[in-house]
Structure 1
């Protein structure tokens, strides 16, 4: 098959328009592995790419999709052969390189992980970059000393992709979870995922002028950044840590050294994009085995043709949980 369907974002009269179009495999970039994509997932970064954000994607027309799971169609490297089921997340996929919102991708072999036996291709995209990031955050917190039973672990942006998976995963690992959100109507969903406490986002937005806040959290996963992040830092218990991975509330915050010196706390940065492939593969193995989590309460499936509407929803802050894209 030389032609395939893909969501293509084009610039028209200063606006960025998304539409499903026919593309040709020969138009894909050079790479070691040609993959027939079966499933992808929708992430906030995909929506930014689809809306013309030049910090994510510089050149258009472009096919977004930072996640892809599918079957190798052709390969120039011996470790990957036709028929292998594989996962690709991060690196340049869906940013500068034609991404998972197309039925085919061509990528370097150094981006490709063989599907772990404990996950189906669809399961892997319910997780996607969001699930990988949530797992990396929890792993980093545990490396810093967090264990169940120490007290509540806060998750900010808890109805989003990373946040909702973090809530479910922490709960399944035996942690007491406090879920922070500005979407009060989603409290029931967060409770079903395992949250024992719902925190109104506005409660995390006050007190930016103070050097320290009341000690509350044994640990935290922050997906929003901004002043909320540093308010979380100021309310960590002595010796606790927050793993941060997002910036929807902003890339800067008002900070002081007080919590670090007086409470011995840690601010841990987490990246899931440029990690060495061996690290990603190790975490995917864990997600398929010890950390396998039931996520049926937060996922739904859409077609490629339904993507433009979903992209508008996520940009408007109305999407919750995980959206899996079935590419047929």
Structure 2
């Protein structure tokens, strides 16, 4: 297919840095995969910003088009599972990492990376969620699987103004949980309250340096998005039999913790991975996000931009100043 399209292209420069430009590419240059998708929406995640900054732990070679999320319409397919006109979602796997990603009008991907758009979710809404929202959904699913219900008590969400955190607050509120949000942003109170948080506490309150093996029990469960000592403090503050999920490491990859919360309080720590989550289980999570988990405040957490505004938005998220979800309108 000899067709051109617009994309965000990241290239190395002579000074050793990386430049982002809106460029024109040809569909024929995309990787030889099963399904060609015309992208309508994507979303901005921290991993995209790392890829756009030349982080070799995310993307090995450049020039490259980031974008770990994409939602659009199948234009051509070599797979019997997908037909032209199908409306689909792609998140995770290698999209936007070492495979040309969703910050482009076209992607070409393997058939087994694709999920059909749920009937009650628009393509736009699916990318308000994106990988961050899908990760929030997996985190909530883990709490529910381990038996947590609203009558057990309060659920804590750290990094609550971020992508995963804001969606998690909204989902938990929709399900009837009392949610305490943790944020380092002093101006975030109104935003988090609008999503359904019943209380907001500063990040410093969840960064214990006392060295104690256990702290006062405060939460029935928690969704942690930052890691490090904050995660350790959360675990030490979780009630007997509670569950804590972990999906991020912006606060560090080490976990300064003893075994006592696990063997004296029976706390469970569940790791959440949305990249390689099995494709045969993804559709069920998307159905829940489309229906009984959908936050009433989904639009309130959304900031919409076009391709041209991506370079500035990437710098914003790298500085830790992003709030909620950044939806990227591609088509």
Q: Secondary structure at the match of 2:201?
A: strand
* Contact 2:208/2:229 (8 A) holds in 1: no
Determine the structure 2 residue equivalent to 1:324.
327
Q: Deviations over 1:86-145 (max 9, x none)?
A: 000000000000000011000000001111101010010001111111011011011111
Q: Secondary structure at the match of 1:260?
A: helix
Determine the structure 2 residue equivalent to 1:2.
3
- Could you list the runs of 5+ residues in structure 1 that have no partner in the other structure? none
* Contact 1:207/1:213 (8 A) holds in 2: no
Moved more, 202-211 or 122-131: 202-211
The whole-number CA distance in structure 1 between the counterparts of 2:295 and 2:319 is 28
Q: Secondary structure at the match of 1:163?
A: helix
* Contact 1:300/1:323 (8 A) holds in 2: yes
Determine the structure 2 residue equivalent to 1:283.
285
Q: Secondary structure at the match of 1:96?
A: coil
The whole-number CA distance in structure 2 between the counterparts of 1:288 and 1:196 is 24
**Could you tell me which of 300, 306, 316 is aligned with 1:297?**
300
**Could you tell me which of 208, 220, 227 is aligned with 1:225?**
227
Count of aligned residue pairs for this structure pair: 328
* Contact 1:208/1:231 (8 A) holds in 2: no
The whole-number CA distance in structure 1 between the counterparts of 2:58 and 2:83 is 31
Determine the structure 2 residue equivalent to 1:83.
85
Would you identify which runs of 4 or more consecutive aligned residues in structure 1 move more than 4 Å? none
- Could you list the runs of 5+ residues in structure 2 that have no partner in the other structure? none
Q: Deviations over 1:38-77 (max 9, x none)?
A: 0000000100110111111111110000000000010001
Shift of 1:207: 3.0
* Contact 2:214/2:236 (8 A) holds in 1: yes
Shift of 1:208: 5.3
Determine the structure 2 residue equivalent to 1:20.
22
The whole-number CA distance in structure 1 between the counterparts of 2:263 and 2:208 is 22
